[in-house]
Structure 1
Amino acid sequence: MHVTSLRFTSEEPLDGGVLAREFTLGEIPGTLWTPGSAPAPLILIGHNGGLHRREPRLVARARHSAARGYAVAAIDHPGHGDRPRSAADEQARADLRRALAAGEPVDEIFESFVGPLVEKAVPEWRATLDALLALPGIGGPVGYSGMTAVGIRLAVSEPRIAAAGFFAGGYVPRAQREEARQVTIPLLFLLQWDDEGNPRQRALDLFDAFGTKEKTLHANMGGHTGTPWFEAEDGDRFFGRHLK
């Protein structure tokens, strides 16, 4: 894909020597958090629903990792966050919310919404990775943490991704369920046992399907947004084993 060079638009010093900078890369808006020390390994971080790079839980995770010596980057996926939404995007969201609330099947709605999102988002992540690794103070190897469907495609198509942490989603497009068998990098898979939006057995089946020999499942009680904060610490230790 063709994009212009990365351009920083603002910066904000944070506690612990962390610097948060907003950037644009063509049409892609993003945020980069960097520690005071360099060089720093890079973690690409995405919201599990692909919503907004400034979602509070995502920002908290990014700042936590940056304070521990990682460079962390997040972007808004097409149709999310600060980016324009098409009428089809809005209709798919409305259909998905209605079906989930009514307990109706959502597989085809999910396919029509998330499948195209993966196809658009992954090339943008790879272009962002090219630009970030060209910056001083940021180096490889690279980790990915976040949305499972996008992460699976990145794990099998981007050789610079050395380890990944996925937030377990029961609803993953069929293409990514097949691609899961090709994932060979170390993997940390987080599962909320009572996640109201992601069927538990599907998530367990997906974990079983991953082809990597080094995969770890962390299951915690609670709903979709109830992931315990100590998992952020465990995630940093996981990336520390593979990126530092």
Structure 2
Amino acid sequence: MRFTSERRLDEGVLAREFTLGETPGTLWTPESDGPVPLVLMAHNNGMSKAEPRLVARAVHTASAGYAVTSVDAAGCGDRPRSAADERARAELRRALRDGEPADEAFEALVGPLVENAAPEWLTTLDALLELPGIGGPVGYSGWMALGIRLAAADPRIAAAGFFAGGFVPRAQREQAPRVRVPLLLLLQWDDEGNPRRRALDLFDAFGSEEKTLHANMGGHTGTPWFEVEDGDRFFGRHLR
């Protein structure tokens, strides 16, 4: 892991850019006298770690006393996309434009994104837990499909907050019963592209003994800011 820049933000948070192999990432850390828990904060479906809503969430969570990281895994952010990625994106755009069922196009795009991203996130987790000032346990926040993949496989993840705002591939739907950590699921009731029935069925499928569903009125990007604050309290119960 090589740190390439750092900035001290007004909130008392240190933001540092890093690279780990080909993976670029950002680490936000609070002022602290001892090790702090780590939250993995993932953006959705090929977006960027520099997306303003994600950065705002990360800074807020770091200022509450957590180390927070986000990375641009393969096919995300400014990283080159494979020819297969480009074909899958083109087919998805065509299906949506023509009003055709898009599930298989989403499957072809999102399934490989999840499988390619997961190893890079786990390698990043390994490296971050070796840094001074960062300790366990670990939380996860954000993209549900990737979160299911990670939480079902890695026992270091002790709590997860998922956004029910993206397509979840078949493989991750099948893995949902293996997610047994405390869970907070955020659902936008009127999400234009993600039927609420699918999110509710996934909520039923999760194997967690403690799972909470927060549903808010509004579209895909309308999650209220108070849910970020509730998310910090959720992590406070399970990572402190």
Give the TM interval when normalised to the shorter protein.
over 0.9
Q: Is the 8 A contact 1:170 1:202 kept in 2?
A: no
In structure 2, what is the equivalent of residue 18 of structure 1?
13
Amino acid across the alignment from 1:88: A
**Which one of the candidate residues 95, 111, 115 is aligned to 2:107?**
111
Match of 2:48 in 1: 52
The Cα of 1:159 is off from its aligned counterpart by 0.8
Q: Which amino acid counterpart does residue 198 of structure 1 have in structure 2?
A: N
Residue 188 (str. 1) matches residue 184 (str. 2)? yes
| Aligned equivalent of 1:81 | 77
Give the whole-Å Cα distance in 2 for the aligned partners of 1:87 and 1:190.
33
Partner Cα distance (2:6, 2:58) in 1: 15
1:232 aligns with 2:231: no
Maintained 8 Å contact 2:45/2:113? no
C-alpha distance in 2 between matches for 1:170 and 1:76: 17
CA 1:170 to 1:205, structure 2 compared with 1: closer, same or farther past 3 Å?
A: farther
- Residue equivalent to 2:28: 33
Count of residues in correspondence between the two structures: 239
Partner of 2:116: 120
Q: Measure, in 1, the Cα distance between the counterparts of 2:70 and 2:112.
A: 19
Which amino acid in the other structure matches residue 30 of structure 1?
Answer: G
Give the match's secondary structure for 2:101: coil
Indicate the residue corresponding to 2:146 in structure 1: 150
Give secondary structure in 1 for the equivalent of 2:11.
helix
Secondary structure at 1:135's aligned position in 2? coil
Structure 1 equivalent of residue 65 of structure 2: 69
Tell me how far apart the structure 1 counterparts of residues 138 and 91 of structure 2 sit (CA, whole Å): 36
| Deviation for aligned residue 1:95 | 2.4
Counterpart residue type for residue 96 of structure 2: L
Rate the CA distance shift 1:231–1:153 in 2: closer, same or farther, 3 A: same
For the 8 Å contact 1:29–1:82, the answer to whether it is kept is no
Q: Name 2:3's counterpart in structure 1.
A: 8
Change (3 A) 1:103 1:200: farther
Q: With structure 2 as the length reference, what TM-score do the two structures score?
A: 0.96
Segments of 5+ residues of structure 2 without an aligned counterpart are: none
Structure 1 residues 66 and 170: alpha-carbon distance in aligned structure 2, compared to 1, 3 A threshold: closer
Q: What's the TM-score, normalizing by structure 1?
A: 0.95
| CA drift at 1:15 | 1.3
Instruction: Give the one of 90, 95, 99 matched to 2:95.
Output: 99
* CA distance in 1 between partners of 2:93 and 2:213 (Å): 28
CA RMSD of aligned residues (A): 1.2
Q: After the TM superposition, which of the residue ranges 173-182 and 41-50 deviates more from structure 2?
A: 41-50
Gaps of 5+ in 1: 1-5
Contact 1:100–1:197 at 8 Å: present in 2 too?
no
Question: Counterparts of 1:203 and 1:17 in 2: how far apart (Å)?
Answer: 36
